[in-house]
Amino acid sequence: MNKKELKEFLDSKVIEYNNPNFIESDPIQIPHRYNLKEDIEISGFLTATIAWGNRKMIIRNANKMMELMGNSPYDFVMNHKEHHLDSLDGFVHRTFNSIDLTYFIKALNHIYTNHNGLENIFQLNATTDSLQPAIHELKKVFFEIPHPARTTKHVSDPFKGSAAKKINMWLRWLIRDDSTGVDFGLWKSISPSILSCPLDVHSGNVARKLGILTRKQNDSKALAELDASLRSLDRYDPVKYDFALFGLGVFESF
């Protein structure tokens, strides 16, 4: 396919997958249960954090986290007492356990109390063409209070070579306004044009088959290459193609 044909093909796949039916089988259904901005941010962040492995298990365990917080994540983060954290004991999703979840609650409280919330960190630290420096800053802020060493691996850092798939997915949810009701378009202060595609085994393999990614590892350098390719197809909304790449990989075994 030449570039024009490739764009037409991917645009058709975006239309096919970027619609409300997508929500039913995707972890994005968890933040869609909420209306309050902070509930959407926090439930989305926690859900994205455990978004690896079987999708049904991700959704089931994300539901469990919400239940443990009384289905009011922002209220729980801001108003919990120390003994309320005991209710998190026993939670586990793969290598993310109740120790990590307990710290995440404390770190989120710290961010909303002392840093004016999650959006503010990204607004202050985004560059004109990237959110990756802001993800790096998020990790610094997230762990600036006493924390278990084991928990640091659950927040990615692009400056250490990570493609930061889960955080980039969460940022797509919050920043991109797709007018179809899937992504929220909640953070108006940040342009969707600087979003990065969530790069995982599915999107990476499809991108390589289509010739828009050559690097073999799914790391920060591959992400930069993929971003450049997608931005050349749509400079204003490049990560809409996440729906096409993911859909082709997961639903069509492309």
Q: Is residue 168 over pLDDT 90? A: yes
What residue segments make up the domains of the chain, in order of their start?
A: 3-250
Using only C-alpha atoms, what is the Rg of the chain?
Answer: 18
Q: What's the pLDDT tens digit per position in 134-151?
A: 999 999 999 999 999 999
Q: Is residue 209 over pLDDT 90? A: yes
Global pTM reads: 0.97
Q: Is residue 84 over pLDDT 90? A: yes
CB 233 within 8 A of CB 197: no
Q: What's the pLDDT tens digit per position in 211-241?
A: 999 999 999 999 999 999 999 999 999 999 9
Q: Is residue 193 over pLDDT 90? A: yes
Q: What is the pLDDT of the chain when averaged over all its residues?
A: 97
Q: Is 148 helix (H, G, I), strand (E, B) or coil?
A: coil
Is residue 35 packed enough to be buried (19+ CB in 10 Å), middle (13-18) or exposed (0-12)? exposed
Average pLDDT over residues 52-66: 96
